[in-house]
A and B are shown apart, each in its own frame.
Chain A
Amino acid sequence: MANTTLSPLHRADGSARYTKNGYSVIAAVNGPIEVQRRDELPEEAAVDVAVRPAAGLGGLPERHLESILQNTLRHVIVVSAHPRTLIQFTLQIVTSPGDDSVTGSLPQASSNLPVLPALLQASILALLSTSIPLFMTLTATLVAVNPNGILLVEPSVQEIKLASSIHVLAFSSHGDLLVVESEGDFTIDKWEEVHKKAKSICHEEAGDESESGSEDVSMSSDDSSKIENVLKEAVERKIAKEQRWKESTG
């Protein structure tokens, strides 16, 4: 079950902690702040992302994740609203389930895709706790295909190890595909299947919040199907806190 906390940090303009499937990430956003001359963009805000692993210094896998996040967030934020400024993300991975086996060397897997959904989700939550304008929100999920061709949503570490391919997909609140990162052997048909499954998890719920408003999730009882609701609940809690004075005034 996903666990979210909005604004756990005092100093950052916006922050969030997101825990799900063994991964826990703290995200902080600062912005719009002053940008260094060399990074300045004349028509839009520069988006800077730093991913910091729980143990050890960041390496190539982290840089790869940073570039994916940067490219995604740049399209989510209304960057034209604050030109010549910087919107700075820092994402600290607090726990990742791969770390359990301390026996070997430091957990330096070849790729770090499984943590990507948590990073995306944490950054969007952190953004919601700021006053930075956004075009949309997003929801992300991880789907693995095991050698028998069965799709596994939010797989465990063991399942990821055995999987023939893993896919990270993120959808905007309008239902458009925002991020897709795949790894391993798979066919186009299989990918289509993964896409359909991921979309049903990330978006079907999102669709009803603006249009039909129905709450029945008969199609899948998986708790990951409520990703969109996680965002909503977090914002509701924030507003309730901000508006407490109104209630206690009556």
Chain B
Amino acid sequence: MATQTLVLPGDTISPNILPIPSNPSHFLKLGPGLRHTPPSTITSVLAGSLCIDPKKNAIWVENNSGRYIPQPHDLILATVHHSSTDWYHCAITPYTTLAQLPHLAFEGATKKTRPQLNAGSLVYARVVSAAKHTDVEITCCNASTGKSEGMGELKGGMVFDVSLGMARRLLLARQREEGGIVVLEGLAEKVAFEVAVGRNGKVWVKSGGVKETLLVGRALQETDREGLGVEEQGRLVKKLLRGL
């Protein structure tokens, strides 16, 4: 289990608390919120809880607030803003520079068969590159396999805003154990629905009818807002299903 302490920007991380690698050839991994000043000073640049995972030899600052900043490999929900010769320009968060989605970055897309997306279409995509001096590039297919892997245009449904921390928890491989989320599992016993979670704090939900879709969306938002634990989520699910 990772241990936690509070850090403020500018705090120097004492070398004593750094994880000791099991093998000297393993490098220490610095996650978000930390800054390395050669030779060996590590300072925090964010306010949050400092998390240390000795098993993975990693250290990072957990901060779930503010604006989403694109990172490579993140899954996100983007809205197409307009199309140009080779790209769709998509908005990941409002008021930021648009990200680029190549016309051919879809499963099996060629010049002739590529999907035609109108302005305002919703896409589920992965961030390819997010270097600070270039525009963000996103894709809707896995470059090595050429498969869509669930990404691409999303039709119908509704988008719900959640906090960045909630989105991260929803995307964990073991939602229940690590993220403490059972609300989706609970609802799935009675209601059929699809979800796509974007790391940028957006969740797309599609279900049979308006009522069901709203039910799932609201359940997620309430779990997030109130910080509900596993048992409380169970109660919420029961309450909501009864109302249906």
- A–B in direct contact per CB < 8 Å: yes
Chain A residues within an 8 Å CB radius of B69? 32, 82, 131
CA distance A246 to B180 in the complex (A): 7
With A133-B46, A245-B228, A248-B228 in contact, do A31 and B67 touch (Cβ < 8 Å)? yes
The contact of B230 among A32, A130, A236, A249, by CB within 8 Å, is A249
CA distance A208 to B11 in the complex (A): 12
Tell me if A134 and B97 are in contact (CB < 8 A). Answer: no
Q: Is A34 an interface residue (CB 8 A)?
A: yes
Contact with B along A122-154 (1 / 0, CB 8 A): 000000111111111100000000000000000
Among residues of A, the one whose C-beta sits closest to the C-beta of B94 is A33
With A34-B97, A232-B8 in contact, do A130 and B67 touch (Cβ < 8 Å)? yes
Tell me if A83 and B95 are in contact (CB < 8 A). Answer: no
Contact with B along A224-250 (1 / 0, CB 8 A): 000000011001101101111111111
Cβ distance B233 to chain A, nearest Cβ, rounded Å? 9
Cβ distance B44 to chain A, nearest Cβ, rounded Å? 9
With A133-B46, A245-B180 in contact, do A238 and B8 touch (Cβ < 8 Å)? no
Tell me if B95 and A30 are in contact (CB < 8 A). Answer: yes
With A33-B96, A210-B12, A235-B8 in contact, do A130 and B228 touch (Cβ < 8 Å)? no
CA distance A250 to B228 in the complex (A): 11
With A33-B95, A232-B8, A236-B6 in contact, do A131 and B67 touch (Cβ < 8 Å)? yes
CA distance A242 to B167 in the complex (A): 13
Contact with A along B148-180 (1 / 0, CB 8 A): 000000000000000111000100000000001
Chain A residues within an 8 Å CB radius of B228? 245, 248
Q: Is B48 an interface residue (CB 8 A)?
A: yes
Q: Is A7 an interface residue (CB 8 A)?
A: yes
B-side interface size class: 35 or more
Tell me if A13 and B66 are in contact (CB < 8 A). Answer: yes
With A242-B64, A242-B165, A247-B229 in contact, do A134 and B45 touch (Cβ < 8 Å)? yes
Tell me if A231 and B8 are in contact (CB < 8 A). Answer: yes
Cβ distance B66 to chain A, nearest Cβ, rounded Å? 3
The contact of B9 among A30, A136, A238, by CB within 8 Å, is A136
Tell me if B65 and A238 are in contact (CB < 8 A). Answer: yes
Q: Is B112 an interface residue (CB 8 A)?
A: no
Contact with B along A32-45 (1 / 0, CB 8 A): 11100000000000
Tell me if A243 and B232 are in contact (CB < 8 A). Answer: no
The contact of B67 among A7, A32, A246, by CB within 8 Å, is A32
Q: Is B214 an interface residue (CB 8 A)?
A: no
Contact with B along A80-103 (1 / 0, CB 8 A): 011111000000000000000000
CA distance A7 to B48 in the complex (A): 15
Q: Is A172 an interface residue (CB 8 A)?
A: yes
CA distance A50 to B118 in the complex (A): 37
Tell me if B229 and A245 are in contact (CB < 8 A). Answer: yes
Chain B residues within an 8 Å CB radius of A31? 67
CB-defined A-B contacts under 8 Å, sample of 22: A13-B66, A30-B67, A30-B95, A32-B67, A34-B96, A78-B45, A81-B132, A131-B66, A133-B9, A133-B35, A133-B45, A134-B46, A172-B10, A173-B10, A210-B12, A243-B49, A244-B229, A245-B180, A245-B223, A246-B180, A248-B232, A249-B180
| Given A132-B66, A235-B8, A249-B230, 18 extra CB contacts under 8 A | A32-B67, A33-B67, A83-B132, A128-B8, A131-B63, A131-B164, A133-B45, A133-B46, A172-B10, A173-B8, A238-B47, A239-B48, A239-B49, A242-B64, A243-B227, A245-B229, A248-B227, A248-B232
- Give the interface of B toward A (CB within 8 A): 6, 8-12, 33, 35, 45-49, 63-69, 95-97, 132-133, 163-165, 169, 180, 223, 226-232
What 8 A-B pairs are tightest by C-beta distance, nearest first?
A: A248-B229, A244-B227, A130-B66, A136-B10, A131-B66, A134-B9, A133-B45, A249-B229
